[in-house]
Structure 1
Amino acid sequence: MMTFPVRLFPSLLLLACVGAMGTALITQYGFGLEPCILCFYQRIPYVVAGVLAVIALSSKVPVRGKIVLIALCALAFAIDSGIAFYHVGVEHHWWESACVGGVNPEANSAEALKALLAGPPPVPCDRIPWSVFGISMAGYNALFTCGLAVFSVWAARTLKRQA
């Protein structure tokens, strides 16, 4: 049986989180792809998993604690994969979402007026600003986080067997 250094898996998970967040920020600020609210929701599990990975890298955390933290990373990635899959469904109009469209400037209500005065309308979640091979950023995120969840489960089980 091959043994792995205990710090390897949290390091790889942290690298994946930093890379994903870096990619999201570069596409937003470098290429002007404005995120919708679901895009922002997909970033939260990356931050959570990144913090868990940093904690797992601490030398003061015992191996059993590292296993639990990596398993929690798997949960965060699974949640993110679900959010991303939901976002893909919204993009393809498989189901309804409250964040489709924007503010209707023709609406005659106080809420519509407040929304217009508050600034530009939020980016609609059903708009696909970028895709490659017919897969949007949300689609790639669903695949990536699903893979990270599987990897995290495997890593936690591997460390448990090594302990």
Structure 2
Amino acid sequence: MATLGSFFMIAGALAFQYIGGLPPCKMCYWQRYPHIIAIGIGALALALSNRALMMAGALAALTTSAIGLYHAGVEKGFWEGPTTCTSQPIGGLTTDELFDQIMSAPVVRCDEIPWEMLGLSMAAWNGVLSFGLFILWCLALRRA
């Protein structure tokens, strides 16, 4: 179930991107990588019934949960995100430097909320739901 959960989280992210027209920011991509790893780990764990793989799946789910909650904090302004993904000060730049900064700036900023439901952004939902997947991995590990 945890493997399917990660699969559906990736499918949902791709649907928001390609159907909903909401391109991901750098931190959104960071949240996808552990889900992709968890899918691969889950497929191996199902085939091999290996406890170490189950622990790795739980770690992948916990990692994406942490990244999602960190990203949600950046969106809400609780802390700063990476400078390559958020707005930067423009003071002291020449017009050519400013133009270069604008042209090389990421299209999607990590500190803006493009979509939310029930007061939670996509990043926050990923954090919450991925923590649920972490619990599922732990329950599977306990049963093994």
TM over 0.5: yes
Change (3 A) 1:123 1:107: farther
Structure 1 residue 17: Cα displacement = 1.6
| TM-aligned CA deviation for residue 133 of structure 1 | 1.1
> Does residue 1:76 correspond to 2:60, yes or no?
yes
Give the secondary-structure state (helix, strand or coil) at the position aligned to 1:126: coil
Q: Percent sequence identity over matched residues?
A: 33
User: Superposition pairs for residues 48-87 of structure 1, below 5 Å?
Assistant: 48-58=37-47, 61=48, 63=49, 66-87=50-71
CA distance in 1, matches of 2:33, 2:97: 28
Q: How far is the alpha carbon of 1:103 from its aligned partner?
A: 9.1
| Aligned residue in 1 for 2:106 | 121
Correspondence for 1:149: 134
State the distance in 1 between where 2:65 and 2:20 align. Answer: 24
Matched AA of 1:108: T
**Aligned AA (2:121):** S
Moved over 6 A (4+): none
Matched, 1:130 2:119: no
Counterparts of 1:39 and 1:84 in 2: how far apart (Å)?
A: 8
Q: How far apart are 1:108 and its partner, in Å?
A: 2.6
Q: What is the TM-score of this pair, normalised by structure 1?
A: 0.77
1:53-78: CA deviation from partner (whole Å, max 9, x where unpaired): 111232xx2x3xx2211111110111
Larger Rg: 1
Cα distance in 1 for partners of 2:3, 2:98 equals 42
Residue correspondences, number: 141
Shift of 1:121: 3.2
Unaligned stretches of 5+ residues in structure 1 = 1-11
Answering whether residue 29 of structure 2 is matched by residue 40 of structure 1, we say yes
User: What is the alpha-carbon root mean square deviation over aligned residues?
Assistant: 2.2
Unpaired runs of 5+ in structure 2?
none
Higher relative CO (Cα under 8 Å, sequence separation at least 6) belongs to 2
Scaled by the length of structure 2, what TM-score is found? 0.86
**For residues 17 and 88 of structure 2, what CA distance do their matches in structure 1 show?**
19
- Counterpart CA distance in 1 for 2:60 and 2:110 is 22
Q: Distance in 2 between matches of 1:70 and 1:92?
A: 33
